[in-house]
């Protein structure tokens, strides 16, 4: 079943201890789409400027990614520049040029309106609801947000969450959104706002999911070479929702496999700049690493 | 099979956001012994002062903990005082009064010398080797250490590690000891120093184990009420080594179950001050929480 994703398609300039990548493809919807498209067809809604070139565009081609909703408008594409610390555990935003993204108003093409799965990338919560107003009864709506919206538009975030099934955020955002330090209490408070399932991303420490059936913990894959963490969270979301959209049903077992599939995709994402590793990835490689996650976490009853 | 533990028995004064406990039982060997004794007999080697009272002593009684090696000497018992931040994620040492522990020279009673399992608590690495000189071919030697020894006596730490099978430390210590930020590289460097198995404790983020058969990741149990984290690492070590000592053989499957058992015991430890929760704990409660860990981490193949 198909997935509608609304978010950013951007150029990133990224500096890590291992090198620098200049104006390479980035943006939440880019990482999400390529990851999700391994499992299900994706309908992309985003905006780029007239500087968005064929090289970047090529990332989406030859994949089940519908580009009718990728609006092209006069001006420059959203550009983000960031620099990572020596340990990759913190990053500094050098500059954010919103450019054409500043005036983004998601317009959902007619043939996207019946998408069964919807992913609301990290954009203004008001726009996230405008997307929901344009779709017809999706089976599942997942959503991301960030500290900027949680502190800047808390009421709008809450109104959006009331219409969302699955929220994917990081641990700092979960604490900020709930006002609770303890992560179990934070999860309970957030699930009371609407989402039946909360996925908390903890970077190198893995993922915690809180759902109707309790909690699930998955580690991050212990990688020897982490090259560039940019896009790992969006890639996780793409693997997670893509896997669900490709599953016969969304139950606890599928949600858990989706978390591990998201972690699997994210573990590849960080191995290279931009979407480089995702673009060379094959389904057998994905399945092989999924099995490594199984081996990484398996233990027997006593 | 029996476990010899050498470490500290202390009085702790602990302040958390939830309350204060004054001169309650603490010390690495105390937490370790009570946790390990759920699974195997323990032989304790430590020193206390003449102020060490019957109330504290009672923690060890009625359990398979041999106290012949608990030396009592003139002076005061080791006293540590600490204060936790509002989120329990950092702590400040208010004072450390070594007292009789300053001149501790572990003397291993004759009937302890054939212990099959040895745990060297976090003491001077020179003393850790003196313990090994006094025992006869144990089946497995596990060891803890800390930043104070890694930076203060790096060569002595390395000499001790050369004689150790399992090292249990936290992630910051693993990075410091190896000089590697990446945890996979850190693990390889540390295992090259001697220990065939490295257990890296990450607090609320769980545990990573690196052994001859690869890596294993276990989460911490997501607790709604963490009351006092003091002793969680030593309790983990006690559950881990206790479980191994009670197992028919030490293979990868047993090591993994031991990590989960250590995490299980630690999850109880933090529910109350001092050893309070460990002292009321029963084996059925332990096994029930172990099964919750299984449920927390289980996912199916794709």
Which residues 162-191 in chain B show a CB within 8 A of chain A?
181-185
B214–A219 C-beta distance less than 8 A: no
Q: Which helix (H) or strand (E) holds A65?
A: strand A65-66
Per-residue confidence at A88, pLDDT binned at 50, 70, 90?
Answer: confident
B160-184 pLDDT, tens digit each = 999 999 999 999 999 999 999 999 9
Whether A288 has a pLDDT exceeding 90, the answer reads: yes
A225 contacts on B by Cβ (under 8 Å) = 182
Distance, CA of A152 to CA of B213 (rounded, Å):
49
B121-153 pLDDT, tens digit each = 999 999 999 999 999 999 999 999 999 999 999
Residue A218's pLDDT is what? Answer: 98
A212-238 pLDDT, tens digit each = 999 999 999 999 989 999 999 999 999
B287 contacts on A by Cβ (under 8 Å) = 302
Which of A222, A287, A302 lies nearest to residue B287, judging by beta carbons?
A302
Residue A87's pLDDT is what? Answer: 83
Which residues 76-135 in chain B show a CB within 8 A of chain A?
86-87
Q: Is the CB of B298 inside 8 Å of chain A's CB atoms?
A: yes
**Burial class for A51, CB neighbours closer than 10 Å (0-12, 13-18, 19+):** middle
The residue behind tokens 């969270």 is: A233
Distance, CA of B67 to CA of B59 (rounded, Å):
12
Whether A102 has a pLDDT exceeding 90, the answer reads: yes
Sequence-distant (6+) residues with CB within 8 A of B94 are B13, B15, B81, B82, B83
B225–A219 C-beta distance less than 8 A: no
Instruction: At B132, give phi and psi (nearest 5°).
Output: -60, -30
B202 contacts on A by Cβ (under 8 Å) = 205
A202 contacts on B by Cβ (under 8 Å) = 205
Domains observed in chain A: 3-297 (3.40.1190.20)
B87–A297 C-beta distance less than 8 A: no
SS3 A89: coil
The more confidently predicted of residues A214 and A88 is A214
A87–B298 C-beta distance less than 8 A: no
B206–A296 C-beta distance less than 8 A: no
Give the percent of chain B with pLDDT over 70: 100
Residue B127's pLDDT is what? Answer: 97
Q: Which helix (H) or strand (E) holds B258?
A: helix B252-269
Which of A215, A219, A300 lies nearest to residue B257, judging by beta carbons?
A300
Report the residue of chain A nearest B85, measured CA to CA. A181
A34-71 pLDDT, tens digit each = 999 999 999 999 999 999 999 999 999 999 999 999 99
> Residue A111 to residues A44, A66, A134: CA-CA distances in angstroms?
12, 10, 11
ipTM above 0.85, yes or no: yes
B215–A296 C-beta distance less than 8 A: yes
Residue B149's pLDDT is what? Answer: 96
Residue B72's pLDDT is what? Answer: 97
Residue B87's pLDDT is what? Answer: 82
Per-residue confidence at A278, pLDDT binned at 50, 70, 90?
Answer: very high
Q: Is the CB of B151 inside 8 Å of chain A's CB atoms?
A: no
B301–A222 C-beta distance less than 8 A: no
Nearest Cα of chain B lies from the Cα of A134 at a distance, in angstroms, of: 33
A105-161 pLDDT, tens digit each = 999 999 999 999 999 999 999 999 999 999 999 999 999 999 999 999 999 999 999
A185 contacts on B by Cβ (under 8 Å) = 224
B205–A205 C-beta distance less than 8 A: yes
Residue B88's pLDDT is what? Answer: 85
Report the residue of chain A nearest B222, measured CA to CA. A184
Q: Which portions of chain B are predicted below pLDDT 50?
A: none
Which of A205, A287, A299 lies nearest to residue B302, judging by beta carbons?
A287
Distance, CA of B161 to CA of A273 (rounded, Å):
38
């Amino acid at each position: 079943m198909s997935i509608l994703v609304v978010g950013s398609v951007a150029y990133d300039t990224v500096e890590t201890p291992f090198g620098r990548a200049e104006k390479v493809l980035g943006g939440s919807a880019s990482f999400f789409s390529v990851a999700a498209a391994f499992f299900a067809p994706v309908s992309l809604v985003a905006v780029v400027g007239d500087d968005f070139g064929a090289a970047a565009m090529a990332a989406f081609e030859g994949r089940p990614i519908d580009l009718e909703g990728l609006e092209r408008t006069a001006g420059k594409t959203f550009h983000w520049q960031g620099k990572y610390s020596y340990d990759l555990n913190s990053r500094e935003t050098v500059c954010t040029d919103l450019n054409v993204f500043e005036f983004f108003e998601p317009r959902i093409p007619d043939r996207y309106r019946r998408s069964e799965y919807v992913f609301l990338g990290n954009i203004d919560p008001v726009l996230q609801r405008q997307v929901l107003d344009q779709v017809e009864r999706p089976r599942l709506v997942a959503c991301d947000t960030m500290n900027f919206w949680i502190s800047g538009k808390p009421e709008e975030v809450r109104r959006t969450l009331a219409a969302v099934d699955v929220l994917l955020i990081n641990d700092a955002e979960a604490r900020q959104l709930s006002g609770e330090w303890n992560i179990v209490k934070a999860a309970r408070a957030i699930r009371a706002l609407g989402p039946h399932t909360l996925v908390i991303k903890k970077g190198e420490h893995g993922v915690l999911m809180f759902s109707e059936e309790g909690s699930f913990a998955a580690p991050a894959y212990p990688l020897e070479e982490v090259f560039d963490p940019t896009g790992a969270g969006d890639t996780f979301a793409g693997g997670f929702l893509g896997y669900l959209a490709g599953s016969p049903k969304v139950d606890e077992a599928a949600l858990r496999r989706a978390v591990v599939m998201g972690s699997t995709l994210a573990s590849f994402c960080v191995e290279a700049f931009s979407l480089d590793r995702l673009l060379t990835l094959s389904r057998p490689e994905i399945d092989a690493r999924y099995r490594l996650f199984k081996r990484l976490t398996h233990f027997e009853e006593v």
